[in-house]
A and B are shown apart, each in its own frame.
Chain A
Amino acid sequence: MQTNKTYNCLVNWRDEQAKREDISDDKRYFVLPNSTLKNIADANPQTLSELSKVKGIGEKKLKQYGVQIIDLMQNSPQDIIKKSPTNGTLFDDNFHPSQNDEELKPPARSLRSLPPLTISQLNSQIKQILNNSFKEGVWVCGEIYRYDLDVIKADTRPYRQVYFELVEQDSQTKERKATISAMIWGEDRKIIEAKMYSVSEGLQLKDGLQIKAKCFVDFYPPQGKIQIRVTDIEPEYTVGKMALERKLILEKLRKTGLIDKNKKLDIPQVPLNVGLITSVGSAAYNDFIDELKKSGYSFKVFLCDARMQGTELENEVRDAIFTLNKYPVDVIAIVRGGGSASDLMGFDKEGVAVAIANSKNPVLTGIGHQIDRTIADEVSNQSFKTPTATAQFIVEKVRQFELDNEELFGDILKVQKQILEDAKERLKNMTGEVKSATVMFVKELENNISQTAEKIKWNLKKFFEDGFRKLDELERLNNSKNPANILKLGFGLVYTTDGKIVKSVEKVSVGSDVKIELRDGNLGGKITAKEKN
């Protein structure tokens, strides 16, 4: 009997599913044929892998209906019946109404024998089921979607309610796994926003925000639409989620080395070509441009308009960086005015961070913020508190270059002057040296000359002295031989009559006349004797 009940349950589910898929009754087997349903009931699979072994369940069917079937199989028929609060129960046998739920009415007859329900009846039953199931409300986590556009219209509505969606995304693929319509009454929104503000200034309901919300599940019979009503949220969850996501992205950036890739780029010395990413016409835009204009330098701004908030921010800023890198810019500035923390969420997105990191030009951020730095700030070359400060930095860079140049020029002038003076001084010294060296040289030369002259003079003197002395000597010698001088001493010369000097006694004979020459005259004489020695 159990199998049969299960089978019926499966058939019922299949028929419902066919309706959901707009498949006509005669083609219900498109979902699953009865034979397969029978096989499932017999096999009683409790897991997907067990189900996959059942004959007639292919891969496609497993994927399409597997979870729903296992869900059915895991709930006993009794359980299902118990949860069914209506008299339109699906089963006619073995049904015992719960004792403690008065609303449950025992089904007396088989389904087919009951009169059909109107849609209103059905819907009111559904509404009742839902109300009962979520009587106390339920905490749900999800991401806010389509809120930003609707919240603008809230003030025109009687209860200032906002309609939006809560979605669940696959954390890896970002694929939307589930969506549900949601709303908040104006009163609740006021309280929720105050609560968020108390946790973190600037935290407010926004698209893309991960929230943990207390919800009631409402069903609106006229549209047959299910919608959850958010009455409270836990801001700490959102803050934690944001921090966690931020942390994960930062870790990833660190691991891939992207975190400081842009920081390694040098800002050109004269960044006159500025790529500007901002919302054109915003206060931030005007502040930034004014600051550049005020400087008087000839900045060239390559402007790229991008939304500075909301979910489009990530794509638009990324595209803007990509575009500006194709132009001859020196630096790229991303600026926006001050805003709330959740307004800045886009700057915590991975796409923005990666685009900044991979920019071939240095990226400066001037994203007005009070407390936390965004990931864009972390990854940028340098970050500033305001657009004005960002522009000032760029201006200051140019001014510094100008000042450096002036200083350099001044230095060159000073150094050049010094060099000239040094050269002059050296020349002066050298002139002095040349002069004194010349004087010295000349003096030395003169000394040499005068010494030489002295020597010559001395030599000449000596030469003449020697000459005269020699002549004196020779004269003395000559004088000594002069017979006249001999006669002066008292000697006399004896001459024969024929005038010959008598040098020997033999030359004269006794009786012969001789002449005797004395110093002062001659004597005549006659030899009277001769005696030989």
Chain B
Amino acid sequence: MEEKISYSKSLDELQKILTDLESENVEIDKLAESVKRATELIKMLRSKLKKTEIEIKEIVKEFEGEKNG
């Protein structure tokens, strides 16, 4: 499920959570939940970014390999 949400949308959600946390708008009851969600998002975003980076690196490597070939 999470995977299908786009990176930017997830980032937006994360940012909103964090903004809410910053402004202390979050109910203390919901805090743990928000933080947990934020942590999940961060984890998800990071892994997505990492994955993309690796993919890109592969592509670039192919390109450079072609070039040198």
Contact = CB atoms under 8 A, between A and B. Distances in A.
A282 B14 CA distance: 135
A467 B49 contact: yes
A519 to B, nearest CB: 14
A255 interface: no
Instruction: Say what secondary structure dominates the interface of chain B.
Output: helix
B2 interface: no
Interface stretch (A45-53, A232-240, A472-480): A472-480
A477 B31 contact: no
Interface string A419-453: 00000000000000000000000000010011001
Given A453-B67, A501-B28, A503-B28, A478 B35 contact: yes
A464 B49 contact: yes
A478 B18 contact: yes
A505 interface: no
A450 B64 CA distance: 9
B6 interface: no
Contact of B18 (A457, A477, A501): A477
B60 A478 contact: no
A494 to B, nearest CB: 11
A481 interface: yes
A414 interface: no
Given A471-B46, A478-B38, A500 B67 contact: no
Contacts of A471: 42, 45-46, 49
A85 B63 CA distance: 154
A200 B42 CA distance: 142
A13 interface: no
A500 B15 CA distance: 27
Nearest to B54: A464
B35 A474 contact: no
Interface size class of B (residues with CB under 8 A): 20 to 34
B42 A475 contact: yes
B14 A457 contact: no
B9 to A, nearest CB: 15
A478 B67 contact: no
B60 A453 contact: yes
Nearest to B56: A460
B3 interface: no
Interface residues of A, number: 23
B46 A453 contact: no
A445 to B, nearest CB: 11
B63 A453 contact: yes
B31 A483 contact: yes
B60 A460 contact: yes
Contacts of A503: 28
A474 B42 contact: yes
Contacts of A474: 14-15, 18, 38, 42
A456 interface: yes
Nearest to B14: A474
B53 A481 contact: no
A455 to B, nearest CB: 12
Contacts of B42: 471, 474-475, 478
A220 interface: no
Contact of B53 (A450, A464, A482, A483): A464
22 contacts: A449-B67, A450-B67, A453-B67, A456-B60, A464-B53, A470-B11, A471-B42, A474-B42, A475-B42, A478-B35, A478-B38, A481-B21, A481-B26, A481-B38, A482-B35, A482-B39, A483-B28, A483-B32, A484-B32, A484-B35, A501-B28, A501-B29
Interface of B: 11, 14-15, 17-18, 21-22, 26, 28-29, 31-32, 34-35, 38-39, 42, 45-46, 49, 52-53, 56, 60, 63-64, 67
Kindly list the 9 A-B residue pairs having the minimum CB-CB distance in the complex, ordered from nearest.
A481-B21, A478-B38, A482-B35, A464-B53, A467-B49, A501-B28, A475-B42, A477-B18, A471-B46
Given A457-B60, A464-B52, 16 more contacts: A449-B67, A456-B60, A460-B56, A467-B49, A470-B11, A471-B49, A474-B38, A477-B21, A478-B17, A478-B18, A478-B21, A478-B39, A481-B31, A481-B35, A484-B35, A501-B29
